[in-house]
Amino acid sequence: MANRLRTRQALGATLLASAVVLGFGAPALAQQNDAITVVQEQEPDTLDPCELTKKNVGMVIRENIVETVTEINQQTGKVDPRLAESWSTIDDTTWRFKLRPGVKFHDGKPLNAAAFIQAFKRMMDPNLSCSNRVLYFEGMGVDLTAVDDLTVDVKTPQPSPIMPVLMSMVGIESPATDAHTLVRNPVGTGPYRLVEWASGRSITTERNPDYWGEKPQVGKVTYVFREEPAVRAAMVANGEADISPVIAPQDATNKDTDHSYLNSETVRLRFDIGKPPLDDIRVREAINYALDRQAMLGTVFSASWQPAKNMVMPTINGYNDAVPFWPYDPDKARALIAEARAAGVPVDNEILLIVNNGSPGGTEAPTVMIEMLKDAGLNVRLQILESAEFYKFFYKPFGDGQPANILFESHDNNSGDAGFTLVGKYASWGGTSKLNDAEVDSEIKRGLAATDPERGEIFRDVFKKVHDMAVDAVLYHQTTDTRIGPRITYTPTAATNQELQISQIQFK
């Protein structure tokens, strides 16, 4: 299936790309003055501000219609002000946020402490399935109190040093927003306001004349939705759309319009570290040495991907550049396996390579990897699973009697802080972690409670430690290809995976 899909896409890409090369891309619908069209993969299900960390929702509303309290700077990885002008710690468990004065919602209501608190409480309401809460705030017990009209104290039972980072996930909507259902007509403070959502067809926004910040160039935005990547690429080439944030790698053939950027996703092989033969460090090291990461780029994985050594992007706080890459050394891999065999490790036991159907690389990538591991002397069998079955291996609780396995997974962290990654992937209580190491656990806990610069140092140590233990085989940072039409300029960043700030788009 994945195979056929790829063939189809490749075919479509070839056809449409050649159309561009041949210069047939005559614009069918001329865009007028300051309006642009954005072609997305999928229509959002809602446009609720408490769902703005969901990709489809965020691409439309985040920082366009609804603004967040803080914002991660994609260049520096630091936290910038947005609706909050400044913040500081009052004590170990209390942060104080000062809101920007003079900001108005699209409905004319003023932004103030009460509005912030109401929006936060709405997000925390368990009767609303807000993905922001589920992802970042579930069970934290956050308590907000107004100090004055523009000042809010945020108190947590435990110290929460990354509260300013977390606040980049919190959007503030008008107090008039329905408290009981997820809404399709968000009212925020952003530079754009919603004009119309023609369900299934398009979403239209226009410039907010009363915006508190700099006036953006684009006056009107139409979002349309096409699942087929070849068609999205064709629309930009044909002048029917100005930007497609995501196109297929095989369609990215025009250097003038197509850009690739790190999208904050990282792929790795997770080892079932408690089960023989994967409980032996020589076997885990051997796997890392056996994989020819360079050779797989441009063959079974996209050529624009970058080899990785940490499970987070370089711009994330806690990234350790001092961790070395695993070199490709098949001889060493064979030697390590032989050594482990001699020491009585059951290296001939079958290991499953678990892959989710439809993950990048299709069936080819895991097949190639298995060949490399077999060459090292391991007995690995490929198991491609549908999502529901895959999750049984992926998430805790891991079922009893699951065979020793290596699992190919993709992880996304664009929060600016490595904390989520370390907890999820390496802490004994992490939802998808196989590691249970007391020292790593206590280091992660210490790091989570610390603030910079100490926090970054501790996280870097953890990355070094898990590398030395060969807990996993970190493979690549993934990239996304985007196509930007000739009328506009825009520089995609890792955040383009989650949001598309129209105010950053300029006309040529």
State in angstroms the smallest separation of the CB of 435 from another protein: 16
Site for another protein in 32-51 (CB under 8 A): 43, 45-46, 48
Query: Measured from the CB of residue 434, what is the shortest distance to another protein in angstroms?
Result: 15
Under rule CB under 8 A, residue 170 binds another protein: no
Measured CA to CA, the distance from residue 132 to residue 277 in angstroms comes to 39
- Binding string, residues 96-135; x marks residues near another protein by CB under 8 A: ------------------------------xx-x-x--xx
The residue among 21, 74, 43, 129 whose CA lies nearest residue 317 is 74
Q: How far is the CB of 189 from another protein (least distance, A)?
A: 23
Nearer to another protein, 67 or 412 (CB): 412
Closest approach, Cβ 182 to another protein, in A, equals 4
Q: Which DSSP category does 494 fall into?
A: G
CA distance 373 to 365: 12
Which of 1, 3, 29, 468 forms a contact with another protein (CB under 8 A)? 29
Instruction: Please measure the distance between the N-terminal and C-terminal CA atoms of the chain and give it in whole angstroms.
Output: 42
* List of long-range contacts for 208-214, beta carbons under 8 Å, 24+ apart: 208/106, 210/104, 210/106, 212/100, 212/102, 212/103, 212/104, 213/503, 214/503
How near is the Cβ of 178 to another protein at its closest, in Å? 11
State how far the Cα of 243 lies from the Cα of 40, in Å rounded to an integer.
Answer: 9
Q: Which of 199, 322, 438, 453 is in the footprint of another protein by CB under 8 A?
A: 199
Sites for another protein among residues 129-168 (CB under 8 A): 129, 131, 134-135, 138-139
Q: Assess contact for 392 and 399: CB atoms under 8 A.
A: yes
Asked whether 306 and 322 are in contact (CB, 8 A), the reply is no
Tell me the number of residues near another protein by CB under 8 A.
57
**Is residue 181 a contact point for another protein (CB under 8 A)?**
yes
Structural contact between residues 254 and 24, judged by C-beta atoms closer than 8 angstroms: no
Binding mask 401-440 for another protein (x = CB under 8 A): ----------xx-------x---x------xx--------
Mark 48-77 with x for binding to another protein (rule: CB under 8 A) and - for no binding.
Answer: x-----------------------------
Query: What one-character-per-residue DSSP string does 246-306 give?
Result: EE-GGG---TTTEEEEEEEEEEEEEE-TTSTTTTSHHHHHHHHHH--HHHHBTTTB-TT-E
Q: What are 96's strand-pairing partners?
A: 88, 153
15 binds another protein (CB under 8 A): yes
Query: For the chain, how many residues are written?
Result: 508
Contact status, residue 210 vs residue 17, Cβ threshold 8 Å: no
DSSP, res 299: T
3-state secondary structure of 372: helix
Is 387 one of the binding residues for another protein (CB under 8 A)?
yes
* Piece of 58-66, 220-228, 340-348, 498-506 that binds another protein (CB under 8 A): 220-228
In the bound complex, what is the minimum distance in angstroms from residue 407's beta carbon to another protein? Answer: 12
> Positive or negative CA dihedral for 324, 318, 264, 386?
positive
Nearer to another protein, 200 or 344 (CB): 200
Binding positions for another protein, rule: CB under 8 A: 8, 11-12, 15-16, 19-20, 22, 24-26, 28-29, 43, 45-46, 48, 126-127, 129, 131, 134-135, 138-139, 181-182, 184, 199-201, 224-228, 230-231, 234-235, 237-238, 240, 387-389, 391, 394-397, 411-412, 420, 424, 431-432
